[in-house]
Structure 1
Amino acid sequence: MTDADQRQPGVSSEVGRLRTVLLHRPGPELQRLTPRNNDKLLFDGIPWVTRAQEEHDAFAEALRARGVEVLYLTELLVETLASAAARDHAIQGVTASLRLGDTMRDYLRQALTEMSPAELKDVLTAGLRNDEVRGGFGLVTSLLHNDDFLIDPLPNLLFTRDSSVWIRDKAAVTSLAMPARERESQLTELIYTRHPRFAASPKIHGWHREHVEGGDVLLLAPDVIAVGVGERTTPAGVERLARQVFAAGDAHTVLAVPIAQERATMHLDTVCTMVDVDKIVMYPNVADHLTAHAVTDAGDGTLLVAEAEPFLVAAAKAMEIDTLHQIDTGLDPVTAEREQWDDGNNTLAVAPRVAVAYERNIETNSRLEEAGIEVIAIAGSELGSGRGGPRCMSCPITRDEI
Structure 2
Amino acid sequence: MGVVVRNEIMPLKKVLLHRPGKEIENLTPEYLERLLFDDIPWLEKAQSEHDAMAKVLEENGVEVVYLDDLTAEVLHDSKVKEEFIYQFIAEAGVKYPGTVKRVYEYLNAIQDNKELVRTTMAGIRRKDLPADKQVSLAGFVQKYPFVTDPMPNLYFTRDPFAVIGDKISLNKMYSVTRNRETIYADYIFKYHPDYNDTQKVYNRDFDNAIEGGDILNLSAEVIAVGISQRTTPEAIEELARQLFFKTEGNLITTVLAIDIPKSRAYMHLDTVFTQVDYNKFTIHPHIQGPLQVFELTKGEGSNELKIEKLNMELDKILSTYLHTEDIVLIPCGGGDDIVAEREQWNDGSNTLCIKPGHVIVYSRNYITNELLEQHGITIHVIPSSELSRGRGGPRCMSMPLLREEK
TM superposition shift of 1:323: 4.5
Give the aligned partner of residue 253 of structure 1: 254
Between the aligned partners of 1:273 and 1:318, the Cα distance in structure 2 is 15
CA-to-aligned-CA distance 1:146-184 (integer Å, 9 cap, x gap): x62111111101000001111111122111111211111
Q: Percent identity?
A: 37
Give the aligned partner of residue 356 of structure 1: 360
Give the aligned partner of residue 30 of structure 2: 36
Between the aligned partners of 1:239 and 1:347, the Cα distance in structure 2 is 27
Between the aligned partners of 2:374 and 2:347, the Cα distance in structure 1 is 19
Is the partner of 1:232 in helix, strand or coil? coil
- Asked if residue 102 in structure 1 is aligned to residue 97 in structure 2, the reply is yes
- Asked if residue 218 in structure 1 is aligned to residue 222 in structure 2, the reply is no
The code of the aligned residue for 1:113 comes to N
Is the partner of 1:390 in helix, strand or coil? coil
Between the aligned partners of 2:396 and 2:78, the Cα distance in structure 1 is 32
Between the aligned partners of 1:160 and 1:78, the Cα distance in structure 2 is 16
Structure 2 residue runs without a partner (length 5+): none
Between the aligned partners of 2:392 and 2:234, the Cα distance in structure 1 is 25
The code of the aligned residue for 2:142 comes to L
Give the aligned partner of residue 162 of structure 2: 165
Is the Cα contact below 8 Å between 1:189 and 1:206 reproduced in 2? no
Out of 233, 240, 248, the residue aligned to residue 235 of structure 1 is: 233
Between the aligned partners of 2:388 and 2:257, the Cα distance in structure 1 is 27
CA-to-aligned-CA distance 1:2-48 (integer Å, 9 cap, x gap): xxxxx552000000100000000011111101111122111111111
- Asked if residue 301 in structure 1 is aligned to residue 333 in structure 2, the reply is no
Between the aligned partners of 1:277 and 1:245, the Cα distance in structure 2 is 25
Is the Cα contact below 8 Å between 2:94 and 2:100 reproduced in 1? no
TM-score after normalising by structure 2: 0.93
Q: Which range moved further: 233-242 or 83-92?
A: 83-92
The code of the aligned residue for 1:167 comes to I
TM superposition shift of 1:262: 0.5
Between the aligned partners of 1:69 and 1:394, the Cα distance in structure 2 is 12
Is the Cα contact below 8 Å between 1:354 and 1:373 reproduced in 2? yes
Give the aligned partner of residue 280 of structure 1: 281
TM superposition shift of 1:301: 2.0
The code of the aligned residue for 1:215 comes to G
- Please provide the CA RMSD for this pair: 1.6
CA-to-aligned-CA distance 1:352-400 (integer Å, 9 cap, x gap): 1111011111111111111111111111110011100000000000000
TM superposition shift of 1:206: 1.6
Between the aligned partners of 1:8 and 1:182, the Cα distance in structure 2 is 23
CA-to-aligned-CA distance 1:249-277 (integer Å, 9 cap, x gap): 23111011111111100100000100112
- Asked if residue 131 in structure 1 is aligned to residue 127 in structure 2, the reply is yes
Is the Cα contact below 8 Å between 2:23 and 2:151 reproduced in 1? yes
Give the aligned partner of residue 392 of structure 2: 388
Q: Which range moved further: 386-395 or 74-83?
A: 74-83
Q: Which range moved further: 119-128 or 99-108?
A: 99-108
TM-score after normalising by structure 1: 0.94
The code of the aligned residue for 1:317 comes to T
Between the aligned partners of 2:171 and 2:2, the Cα distance in structure 1 is 21
Between the aligned partners of 2:256 and 2:281, the Cα distance in structure 1 is 15
Between the aligned partners of 1:99 and 1:124, the Cα distance in structure 2 is 13
Q: Which range moved further: 133-142 or 244-253?
A: 133-142
Is the Cα contact below 8 Å between 1:296 and 1:304 reproduced in 2? yes
Out of 82, 85, 99, the residue aligned to residue 79 of structure 2 is: 85
Give the aligned partner of residue 59 of structure 1: 53
Is the Cα contact below 8 Å between 1:331 and 1:363 reproduced in 2? no
Between the aligned partners of 1:382 and 1:88, the Cα distance in structure 2 is 36
Structure 1 residue runs without a partner (length 5+): 1-6
Is the Cα contact below 8 Å between 2:93 and 2:148 reproduced in 1? no
Residue correspondences, number: 395
Compared with structure 1, are the counterparts of its residues 368 and 278 closer, same or farther at alpha carbon in structure 2 (3 Å cutoff)?
same
Give the aligned partner of residue 4 of structure 1: none
